[in-house]
Structure 1
């Protein structure tokens, strides 16, 4: 392609360096959230039987209302639980939105890096169209990171509350339930931190992209034509 001019110097400039950071941290943002799996475990004692361990696995996208305990509680404690017990809540919308934004940011930053490294001379053309598109995309992703990270942070708080809730019907004299044991959610905490870190990176990069647009560098007026004799 005649217009392609590979140049690695933009990586040493804030414009390309911050894009590289965005690409790197977006990978970990969707990996820490989208790759999570865990379980809730409870020890039950009843009817002369002690230490019966039941567990309910859950994972991304955190549709907890579909997670049931195994072995089934209906088979335990002489019918104390007449129906299957599910975890509470469906937090898939917030989780999937967060992961979708992270994947989109990964692809967008990678595409921008490709332009910077292979077509910077076109990006900095005097018409400024490519830089303007880049600026709009950067502002949009800054807003998306703000909304998705906030929504996912709230959803994660609700996930923790739901998985820590005690089993129902554990108040009868013949049934004793231990406190729920939940898989560590450290990776999910990290995903929230990475979400807000990506927000800062995209907001910060908007300034560097803005400097490339004609709003910061107005197009110089065309030189006057020579008067005809």
Structure 2
């Protein structure tokens, strides 16, 4: 295939090439906003021999919260009344679906740009390439829709599982003489942004479907079919 290489960057100024660059850039931001998140939730504990001790449970992508643990406030574990407490929930499947799609889209955008820039003459001459590109784009737009809404639901549950409602679920906080107060949780604004990026990806890929459709003979065939009755009249 290297024998047919004809580098032409002018295709990037055309709508299909320019949109592909936008898709590539947008998916990079999507990956970093979700896959790079790290946070922690903090509570304030008072128990036997301990007054207002802060303890934290750290969590990060892929959000297996059931592995995040609040260690004992002191070496004596509040006089033996404190057992390590975990956050509740495992949201790794939703988060990994979202990030895995972003990673695959990132790789596909690179591959598509290589074809556009180096083999555009073959892309234009062989209709199988535009049709394959069209089918992949339709599927990708649909997957962005599904994965974004799945991730948005998981994010809402993550906020609940790391917020003030965790206190009643910590058994050690119910021990006599022990009090626990929710203190803080890392802001998840960046994760909210990742959901927005997911929706933008879906919109961008859905819009790109029309551009690719016009590059296939399907569009020309439809035009011929729609014009033929008028020609007969």
Structures share fold, TM-score greater than 0.5? yes
Name the SS of the counterpart of 2:117 in structure 1: helix
Q: Aligned residue for 2:159? A: 160
Does the CA-based 8 Å contact 2:31-2:99 persist in structure 1?
yes
Does the CA-based 8 Å contact 2:46-2:179 persist in structure 1?
yes
- Separation in structure 2 between the aligned mates of residue 73 and residue 121 of structure 1, nearest angstrom: 70
Question: Kindly tell me: are residues 75 and 62 of structure 1, through their superposed partners in 2, closer, same or farther at Cα, counting changes over 3 Å?
Answer: farther
Q: Aligned residue for 2:228? A: none
Name the SS of the counterpart of 1:124 in structure 2: helix
Q: Displacement, 1:75?
A: 4.5
Counterparts of residues 1-229 of structure 1 (less than 5 Å) = 1-71=2-72, 75-81=76-82, 83-125=83-125, 127-164=126-163, 165-167=165-167, 168-169=170-171, 170=173, 174-218=177-221
Gaps of 5+ in 1: 220-229
Please tell me the root mean square deviation across aligned C-alpha atoms, in Å. 2.1
Q: Aligned residue for 1:224? A: none
Question: Kindly tell me: are residues 92 and 75 of structure 1, through their superposed partners in 2, closer, same or farther at Cα, counting changes over 3 Å?
Answer: farther
Does the CA-based 8 Å contact 2:71-2:84 persist in structure 1?
no
- Separation in structure 2 between the aligned mates of residue 93 and residue 74 of structure 1, nearest angstrom: 36
TM-score, normalised with respect to structure 2: 0.87
- Separation in structure 2 between the aligned mates of residue 61 and residue 172 of structure 1, nearest angstrom: 32
- Separation in structure 2 between the aligned mates of residue 61 and residue 110 of structure 1, nearest angstrom: 25
Does the CA-based 8 Å contact 1:37-1:60 persist in structure 2?
yes
Q: Aligned residue for 1:226? A: none
Gaps of 5+ in 2: 223-233
- Separation in structure 2 between the aligned mates of residue 166 and residue 78 of structure 1, nearest angstrom: 23
Does the CA-based 8 Å contact 2:63-2:90 persist in structure 1?
yes
Structure 1: 4+ residue segments shifted above 6 A:
none
- Tell me the matched-pair count: 218
Q: Displacement, 1:114?
A: 1.1
Q: Displacement, 1:115?
A: 0.9
Name the SS of the counterpart of 2:218 in structure 1: coil
